[in-house]
Amino acid sequence: MGKLFISARVTAVRHISSAAVFALLIAGVGLSAAHAMPAEPAVVNAATATALPVRAVTRISGTDRYATAIAISQQSFPRNAGTVFIATGTNYPDALSAAPVAVARQAPLLLTTPNELLGSVRNEIIRLAPATIVIVGGFESISTATENSLRTLAPSLARISGADRYATSKAIALYAFGSGGAQTAYVATGANFPDALSAGSAAGAKGAPVVLVDGGADTVGQPTSSLITGLGVAAVKIAGGEASVSSGVQQSLSQKAPTARIAGSDRFATSVALNRDAFSSSDTAYLANGYNFPDALAGAVLAGKSQAPLFAIPPTCVPQNVLMELDRLSVTKVVLLGGTQSLNSDVANLVSCTPPVTAVPVSPVAPAPQVAPAPQVAPAPQVAPKTTMPLGNLPGWTQIATQDFTTPAALGQVGAVYGADMRGYSGFSDTSGHGTYSPDTVLSASNGSLDYYLHSSAGRPQVATAVPFGYSGQTYGRYSVRFRSDDLPGYKIAFLLWPTSNNWNEGEIDWPEGNLASVMMPHSAQKGSISASGMKFDPLTSYATSSTNSSSWHVASTEWTPGLVKFYWDGVLVSQTVVPAGVPTTKFRWTLQAETRTDGVTPSASTAGHLQVDWAVQYAYTPTS
């Protein structure tokens, strides 16, 4: 099974179970207009771009996200630092709230892997000679072994964590600001990073916390409400539109303190709006990749400490409204955060993006930072002809979303063509920890199919997940997908339904799930257990089903109704649940995840091939009686 990185303590990646990880969040082509993202900029040719005012452009980068964070630390704190914050570099929730807190404590934010204190990070801590090291996140984010290594480097060590990302965020705010210590608080969704990331530098400069909330909820929870009161907050600023933080959350926050929403039409426009609200002038501005989190996390500390804005931008150009902000702020120095794979040479030359394209609401997607270039990819194998995607309602089911993948999309362009959700997650480890989610070197569309090119780069398997119909989810539904796969020992799939709340205790429904060299089986899971105290499968109808062998196409369907889940393979019922009380009853989202096996069997470096999805269809449950 997979895991989704969801909370400070549950840092899994269950088939995207953390969704979204996990959190998951913006719909694309194939969805209703209500779920579509606005168009985002395309790059202008450097040769024809309008000349810009002369500005000094520098870059702070390292060989990877960890080295970049170290380089930023060295720039921010050339001598020593009394406190050092450290968070995992494999997921974003813990560090999102840590950045403004690090600014408040005049401390750098360093990143490391969950199970190891990297030697380079250790050396940087020794250089900084802190009196206190603060670990942000639970033991799944930073392990006990890593904690023990850190204890040898400072007289004092503290860990700030909570039961999930939201509780961790609140604990961080209380640690830094205490009772009555924050006049302003920024509030952002914990389901995704762009809005909170952009708020980080503004919050740091203003001496304010960034508090993560469940943006899809109807109201703000009591813990957040109590936090706002306890901090003495006199003004709340919501980062992002209603798709990120609901109007219900805004209304409930407004009962605690005057509340304003700062948002734009996309993540880049929201970043501009947040900086416009926070800064009237600045001689320096920082630019970071808005599609990936690591560089901007550590960079937000430097920007906040420098009382300067940090703009989230595409990796290949600078949006026109960002360039206009540089003019308004009288910026004379621009600092790029991350290497050329995060922000390319056109960004270094401040090449402008064109205005948004209006034809189809999509979002361009950039290559994940610090990922080795993918090898040349051969065309997907020519296989059996496509079948007609089913259209129309079925008895008891209303068709609400379809995706036929008829528009070609090259590697790195699936997000631009089909919407950002289709490329899922980027830049962190898969469930087993052996692979890396790298959608821009894995996902493409050709011959009427979404193609996953599963392969290794620099010795590490490259995998991907797709969220075909967005993160909003539904309670009950019918889901059908037609797919095929090469035999790929060491790789697996999990096409699953995962709770939109990211609370694993609500369950999980997986069909099909299995290794891409053997069989497919239905699975269910709850936090910490598989098919235990949850859904039970009928042993008389549950059997192994091959997905590969002769590269044939198959249709897998899941029918989820109150008290019963049925699993179909090529139209034949192959399994169903037998314990009604174990069937989930909350909102779930659908994700198509490819990753490395979780049983210790890893792909060889030479194993490479294709998983293809012909079409995907989603229905709402509409019983006739």
CA 130 to chain centre: 32
Between the CA atoms of 209, 215, 219 and 220, what dihedral angle is there, to the nearest 10 degrees? -20
pLDDT in the model for residue 447:
86
**Which amino acid is residue 586, in one-letter code?**
T
pLDDT in the model for residue 27:
28
Higher-confidence residue: 364 or 291? 291
Using CA atoms, how far apart are residues 498 and 592, in angstroms rounded to an integer?
Answer: 11
**Cα-only R_g, the chain:** 23
Report residue 449's pLDDT band, with 50, 70 and 90 as the boundaries.
very high
* 556 within 8 A of 569, measured Cβ to Cβ: yes
Q: DSSP class of residue 7?
A: S
Nearest C-alpha neighbor of 466 from the set 335, 326, 591? 591
* 96 within 8 A of 5, measured Cβ to Cβ: no
Higher-confidence residue: 537 or 477? 477
Report residue 419's pLDDT band, with 50, 70 and 90 as the boundaries.
confident
Identical fold for domains 3-39+396-621 and 62-177, yes or no, is no
Nearest C-alpha neighbor of 215 from the set 272, 271, 169? 169
CA 430 to chain centre: 12
pLDDT in the model for residue 292:
78
pLDDT in the model for residue 151:
96
**Side-chain half-sphere exposure of 312, counting CA atoms within 13 A:** 29
pLDDT in the model for residue 348:
95
pLDDT, the chain, mean: 80
Q: Which of 257-271, 352-366, 380-394, 483-497 has the lowest mean pLDDT?
A: 352-366
Q: pLDDT digits over 512-568, tens only?
A: 888 887 666 666 544 333 333 344 444 434 344 444 443 578 889 999 999 888 888
Q: Which of 150-159, 221-230, 232-241, 287-296 has the lowest mean pLDDT?
A: 287-296
Q: What is the pLDDT averaged over residues 434-463?
A: 92
Q: What is the pLDDT averaged over residues 429-446?
A: 90
CATH classification for the domain delimited by 62-177, as one of 3.40.50.12090, 3.90.1140.10, 3.40.50.410, 3.90.1720.10: 3.40.50.12090
* 553 within 8 A of 387, measured Cβ to Cβ: yes
pLDDT in the model for residue 567:
86
- For every residue of 366-420, DSSP letters joined together read -PPTT-PPPPP-PPPPP-SPPPPPP-S-BTTEEEEEEE---S-B-TT-HHHHH-G
Report residue 433's pLDDT band, with 50, 70 and 90 as the boundaries.
confident
* Helices and strands (DSSP H and E) totals, the chain: 14, 31
Does the pLDDT of residue 24 top 50, yes or no? no
pLDDT in the model for residue 522:
64
pLDDT in the model for residue 520:
65
Nearest C-alpha neighbor of 15 from the set 514, 409, 372, 354? 514
Place of tokens 């916390």: 209
CA 557 to chain centre: 26
CA 276 to chain centre: 25
pLDDT in the model for residue 470:
85
Instruction: Please give the C-alpha separations between residue 489 and each of 230, 454, 519, 524, 593, in angstroms, as whole numbers.
Output: 54, 11, 12, 23, 16
pLDDT in the model for residue 44:
38
Q: pLDDT digits over 159-215, tens only?
A: 999 888 889 999 999 998 988 889 999 999 887 788 898 899 899 999 999 999 998
Q: Which of 22-26, 356-360, 436-440 has the lowest mean pLDDT?
A: 22-26
Domain ranges for the chain: 3-39+396-621, 62-177
Task: Give residues with Cβ within 8 angstroms of 503, minimum separation 6.
Answer: 6, 164, 527
Does the pLDDT of residue 247 top 70, yes or no? yes
Strand order, beta sheet including 156-160? 109-112, 83-88, 132-136, 156-160
Using CA atoms, how far apart are residues 506 and 587, in angstroms rounded to an integer?
Answer: 9
Does the pLDDT of residue 318 top 80, yes or no? yes
**Side-chain half-sphere exposure of 438, counting CA atoms within 13 A:** 25
Report residue 596's pLDDT band, with 50, 70 and 90 as the boundaries.
very high
Q: What is the pTM of this model?
A: 0.54
Does the pLDDT of residue 112 top 70, yes or no? yes
CATH architecture assignment, domain 3-39+396-621: Sandwich (2.60)
Report residue 22's pLDDT band, with 50, 70 and 90 as the boundaries.
very low
pLDDT in the model for residue 180:
83
Q: pLDDT digits over 56-84, tens only?
A: 999 999 988 899 999 999 999 999 999 99
Q: pLDDT digits over 223-243, tens only?
A: 999 999 999 999 999 999 998
At residue 215, the 3 state secondary structure works out as coil
Q: What is the pLDDT averaged over residues 307-321?
A: 93
Higher-confidence residue: 117 or 507? 117
Nearest C-alpha neighbor of 612 from the set 495, 484, 519, 441? 484
